[in-house]
Amino acid sequence: MCAGGDVRRVVSLARDPSRALEACQFFTTEYECDWALAGMRATQVALMDGIVMGGGVGLCAHGRARVATERTRWAMPEVKIGLFPDVGASWFLTRLGGEVGTYLGLTGRAINGRDARDLGLATHLVPSARVPGLVEALLRGPGAQAVAVCDAAEEAGRGELGGGAGAGSLPPRGDLGAAFAGDSVRAILARLSERAGAGCAWSREALDAMLAASPLAVHLTLRMLREAEGIPTLRECLAMEWRLACQCLLQEGTDFVEGVEAALVRKDGRPAWRHEWPARWRETGRVDPPGEGGEGIPPGEAVPRAAVDAFFAPLSVELPWPRFARDGRSGKSRM
């Protein structure tokens, strides 16, 4: 559903200061599409039979019927390219409970179809072999019965997803809640480091994933998710994400351009992030709790709070409001 060509185009525009506003228009159009899908009166059926990541999640997450299979690989891996989970992720990740959304957002971890069904990110779990028949049944029947048709396909395929194909792979929710609670990235890393040192495999994987991601993007994502917990509507969450996405294009030295170029243009996998994790953390996998440190390790966060605050400040230029953010207003945005 998404292979990265879209963000590569955006970054090519953002590299040219005279076209930065054109780059911002991409996010305006994308988020307006997500908002339109969320408000569709007709039933939308998303067949998530394979890779569903980033912008692809935005095309699926807001519809009434979201069908996963044993081939589904669902992820919001934006922190790996210096961005944050968007397309409404601040809304749906924070509604998963038990810090599962924080875990998925900060690590970019991919989950399978069973996990997606259990979390409510998918509404149905159907064997991949039954998808062609499901499509035929959907095309034959009236749209009002689409959800019932998906219900019947799931029931017919129940028991066919044996072994690992039908099993979830997420860590226990209680463990995720203990590890990913709070507003401090460093505290989360320290708890994962302690658990990893005691032999916890999923904690080691999560720690390695976060330390391989953009430090700025990880800190920005945690702040966004905590802000979203107090935001009551998808519309307002999308408005926040739109402002953050524009800041990622308009601010000088943000990680988004560098992350995309390292992953999709140069393809060297060696981004030069604006901020760096302490070398000892990366080399040893041992992260000091907040307030502790040592030689070359500051006692606070790896990214200054002011650098994150800047993303939540008003935009430096005037831009047209996205449709979902106008709320009866007209004119330009300086959100």
Nearest Cα residue to 104 out of 114, 113, 92: 92
**What is the percent of the chain where pLDDT is above 70?**
92
54 is catalytic: no
pLDDT at 323 over 60: yes
pLDDT of residue 103: 98
Are the CB atoms for 228 and 90 separated by under 8 Å? yes
> pTM (2 decimals)?
0.93
For residue 306, the enclosing domain spans 5-333
4 is catalytic: no
- 145, amino acid identity: Q
pLDDT of residue 335: 35
Query: Mean pLDDT across the stretch 77-100?
Result: 96
CA distances to 4, 35, 147, 148 from 144, in Å: 34, 21, 8, 9
Between CA 335 and CA 333 the distance in angstroms is 5
Q: Which of 55, 101, 157, 259 is catalytic?
A: 55
Identify the CATH number of the domain in which residue 59 sits: 3.90.226.10
164 is catalytic: no
pLDDT of residue 328: 45
Where residue 19 falls among pLDDT bands split at 50, 70, 90? Answer: confident
pLDDT of residue 189: 97
pLDDT at 329 over 50: no
Q: Which of 30, 49, 86, 241 is catalytic?
A: 86
Question: Which of these ranges, 76-80, 120-124, 301-305, 330-334, has the smallest mean pLDDT?
Answer: 330-334
Quick count: other Cβ atoms within 10 Å of Cβ 202? 20
**What is the percent of the chain where pLDDT is above 90?**
75
Query: Mean pLDDT across the stretch 67-71?
Result: 96
Give the relative orientation of helices 201-212 and 100-107 as an angle to the nearest 10 degrees.
Answer: 50
pLDDT of residue 298: 64
Are the CB atoms for 53 and 77 separated by under 8 Å? yes
pLDDT of residue 297: 64
Number of structural domains (the chain) is 1
pLDDT of residue 2: 64
What are residue 46's DSSP bridge partners? 66
269 is catalytic: no
Where residue 254 falls among pLDDT bands split at 50, 70, 90? Answer: confident
pLDDT of residue 100: 98
Between CA 110 and CA 53 the distance in angstroms is 8
pLDDT at 295 over 60: no
pLDDT at 79 over 60: yes
Query: Mean pLDDT across the stretch 224-253?
Result: 94
- 115, amino acid identity: D
233-255: buried (b, 16+ CB within 10 Å) or exposed (e) per residue?
Answer: ebbbbbbbbbbbbbbbbbbeebb
Query: Mean pLDDT across the stretch 21-30?
Result: 92
Where residue 5 falls among pLDDT bands split at 50, 70, 90? Answer: low
pLDDT at 265 over 50: yes
